[in-house]
Amino acid sequence: MNTTKVSVPSLRLHDGISMPQLGFGVFEVPPEETQGAVELALELGYRHFDTAAAYGNEREVGAALESVGLPREDYFITTKLWNTQQGHDSTLVAFEESLDRLGLDHVDLYLIHWPVPTEGRFVETWRAFEQILGEEAARTIGVSNFRIEDLQLLMGETETRPTVNQVELHPHFQQTDLRAFHAEHGIVTAAWSPLARCRSLDHETILRVAEHHGREPGQVILRWHLQLGNVVIPRLAAPDRLRENIEIFDFSLSEEEMASIGELDWDNRLGPSPAEFVAP
């Protein structure tokens, strides 16, 4: 394996765990392509991989990690509990199944994938997460797609504050109020769909900033996320995009450029609403 790689900075979570600020998300990466994509990402310097039971490729992520043979402490693995598996006992079973598919004895971060508030089970589920954390089978625990009211309920009913909330976030859907709540409570914001499914790449503001820095539009958007303090998880698996996405640590956006991108917030959600999404 090529040892020349980019070094990715980490953010320290409120429980002291360090999380690489840039990850590679394997949502919609076909299982037959996942192992090769993860192996290339490892070669390029990625050390944070974001998968989920629902993605159907945990096994292939694990196979790539085993093939490359890095020490376990050198990479950070996030996986997620699917909606239909919520509940205390079913969560414990689902977690063991994820560990088995990954071929690991622990994950670094375990997330509730969606709150599914109409089912009313995420508090019970979180108590199973606390058990998993106490057994050191997950180094830290968090949530995904939780709204402010979901977080308030969870923190009011349980003992452990989530370290991370992974949500849809991009220039056209900036989640300002939610990010402010996270900051107030020491919860790290992780962004999925950070490039708005590539719909932000041709906006004139993004293109102007990219031209000024001699960069690609996607690199500008990812840099914007980093400077906001987000963890960012792009999911484009093409080799050129994997290389492009990690080459964002040698330039910075000015305050004026950050502000100009901040003006692109149109409250344009592209994915499902957490208030309504249950299970397909």
Annotated catalytic residues are 55
Q: What values do phi and psi take at 276, rounded to 5?
A: -120, -25
Distance between CA atoms of residues 209 and 212, nearest Å: 5
* C-alpha separations of 24 from 96, 97, 179, 205 in Å: 23, 22, 22, 26
Q: Pull the structure tokens for residue 25.
A: 């998300």
Strands 18-20 and 10-12: antiparallel
Strands 18-20 and 76-81: unpaired
Distance between CA atoms of residues 117 and 135, nearest Å: 27
Contacts with 156 (C-beta within 8 Å, 6 or more apart), sequence order: none
Q: Pull the structure tokens for residue 97.
A: 């199944």
Distance between CA atoms of residues 144 and 274, nearest Å: 9
